[in-house]
Amino acid sequence: MSERPPVTVIGAGIVGVCCALYLQREGFRVRLVDRAAPGEGASLGNAGNLGFASCVPAAMPGILKKVPRMLFDADAPLKLRWSHLPKALPWFLRFVANARPARVEAIADARDSLLKRLHEGYQPLIEDAGAEGLINPSGLMMTWESEEAFQGAAYALDLRRRRGVTFDILDGHEARQIEPSLARNVARAVFIPRLAHVLDPLKLTQTLARNFDRRGGEILRASVRGFEIGPDGPRRILTENGTLDAGTIVIAAGVWSRALAAELGTAVPLEAERGYHVMFADPPLRMRVAVMSGDRYIAVTHMADGVRATGIAEFAAPDAPPDMANARLVQRHAEALIPALKSDPTSQWMGPRPSHPDSKPVIGRSPRFPNVFFAFGHDHIGLALGGITGKLVGELVAGRAPSVDLAPFRPDRF
């Protein structure tokens, strides 16, 4: 195969690294650029779930009644820096508009079209990098602490069921037979047996990035400041360390993609939905399955180096200082759900999830410049969708028809 023109992927999180690997497989010479080392942004701190069942969007019917109450409840998972409200308000208005049942169904279909290909996207990359040992097929348990709360999740469960997700509905006793560490007040649960999780999301991204390097890719540590635009599109990439020839560009920089896309003529309503985690390095238990609480809006997962609890959706500027009171809230909820975790956590973390108001990523060619492609905005499912997004970007840049209909993810849909 003759060598194809060079491609620069901006963003070295899990999505950017997967894009770079698939572009290599298409025969391109690829450069990966990020201000941080691979995987050290939002990809570092997630719950690790390869959530093929995550077709349910964030905006669901009835959300308009819940949001104001949650914003003023200190124990609720939704937080807003009030100084950020003027910038975030248009996003919230679009978010609420997407809670209409017809929109929910369409968004669930779109998310599902990608999630169904989760393993297809990852398998060749993980096998080639020798990273199979980082994947744990333990299953996922979703819990509720009252019958009323469980019944309130009926529509979300039905969305999954109608899209082919199989699961077992359990009472509290049955749930504790599978995961004995659950609190006694867990009343109902759903167990998804086929769902796997990553034991160390950072190590997975680093392992894939090392394989990209081994295959001849270039990894450049630099902050992208902008572009030099010519009559046919961007021809130079401006970084803190100088300029780079543009060639073809893939923007996969998570929440930082908004400013880069705007400079390239495409406005997207991308917000930093900041999440927090706490790590328990030496917990006195070994969890059998990953757990998500439908009441507490947290996930608790046994990782390679301990137990991680994740949660919170904080809307603030992506580079605003973290409020570790949110991490402590996640810790309290985790200790209530898994009582054996009551100990001092070994670390706390915050990272900005890149979220659009319709809970869908942008994947596609720039509407303005033919040498620019977008791959960002995966909100809570960036880890799950990294592989298939990379495959689709590889197909697009190579000029082939994508293996998934990308109309729902087009950059100009807003």
C-alpha to C-alpha distance for 260 and 243, rounded to whole angstroms: 15
Residue 307 tokens read as: 């137990």
Looking at residue 135, what is its pLDDT? Answer: 97
pLDDT value of position 4 = 66
DSSP 8-class letter at 231: T
Residue 68: the pLDDT is: 84
**Boundaries of every domain in the chain:** 1-58+100-135+195-269+358-414, 62-99+271-355, 140-193
Domain at 1-58+100-135+195-269+358-414, CATH class: alpha beta
8 Å CB contact between 258 and 270: yes
Write the CA distances from 381 to 15, 62, 269, 367, integer angstroms: 10, 23, 18, 25
Q: What is the DSSP string of 326-362?
A: HHHHHHHHHHHHSGGG-S--SEEEEEEEEE-TTS--E
Classify residue 387 by burial, with Cβ atoms within 10 Å: 0-12, 13-18, 19+.
Answer: buried
**Residues 302, 269: Cα–Cα separation, whole Å:** 34
| Whole-angstrom distance, CA of residue 232 vs CA of residue 45 | 39
- Residues contacting residue 29 through CB under 8 Å, at least 6 positions apart: 3, 4, 5, 6, 7, 216
Tokens coding 327: 């991490």
pTM: 0.96
CATH number of 62-99+271-355: 3.30.9
Q: In tens digits, what is the pLDDT along the chain, a chain of 414 residues?
A: 445 678 999 999 999 999 999 999 999 999 999 999 999 988 899 999 999 999 999 999 999 888 888 888 888 899 999 999 999 999 999 999 999 999 999 999 999 999 999 999 999 999 999 999 999 999 999 999 999 999 999 999 999 999 999 999 999 999 999 999 999 999 999 999 989 999 999 999 999 999 999 999 999 999 999 999 988 889 999 999 999 998 999 999 999 999 999 999 999 999 999 999 999 988 888 899 999 999 999 999 999 999 999 999 999 999 999 999 999 999 999 999 999 998 788 899 999 999 999 999 999 999 999 999 999 999 999 999 999 999 999 999 999 999 999 999 999 999
